[in-house]
Amino acid sequence: MKNSLPFFFSILLLSACSYKDASAPYPEINTFKKGERLRVNLPENHNNKENWLMTSEHLTALKHLNAVWHGNEKGIDFNFETVKPGTDTLTFVLRQIQDTLKQHRVIVQVTE
């Protein structure tokens, strides 16, 4: 029992710090509560010289935390925290060297 207690708290801590997926495609709305953390995962293959750029500026309901690349198989996570009620549209462009290949949008609504 004593040995399982630290394991239980570790799992609890990890689940509390996890990011929720904002995966509903545009024009559907991804809804989160204030104070939650979310991520947008996009496929990114550096072997093909691809990279996603976030072009959204002036976010009001969200705070951009960071972007983490997990390798060619898992892509890149753009991580955010919800800071106040409102709606932001996140816009990303897929670039290959100097060319824009694709655009991806995600609408996020924050509620109380």
In a domain, 105, yes or no: yes
In a domain, 5, yes or no: no
State mean pLDDT over 18-33.
Answer: 96
What is the phi/psi pair of residue 25, to 5°? -75, 150
In a domain, 54, yes or no: yes
- State the pTM of this model: 0.78
Tell me if the bond preceding 27 is cis, omega within 30° of 0.
Answer: yes
C-alpha 85 chain-centroid distance: 18
Q: Is the Cα torsion angle 40, 53, 84, 30 positive or negative in sign?
A: negative
In a domain, 11, yes or no: no
User: Do the beta carbons of residue 22 and residue 106 sit within 8 Å?
Assistant: yes
Task: Read off the pLDDT of residues 58-80 as tens digits, 9 standing for 90 and up.
Answer: 999 999 999 999 999 999 999 99
Q: What is the CATH number of the domain that holds 39?
A: 2.60.40.2020
Q: 62: domain range?
A: 20-111
Average pLDDT, the chain: 89
Domain count along the chain: 1
pLDDT at 3: 62
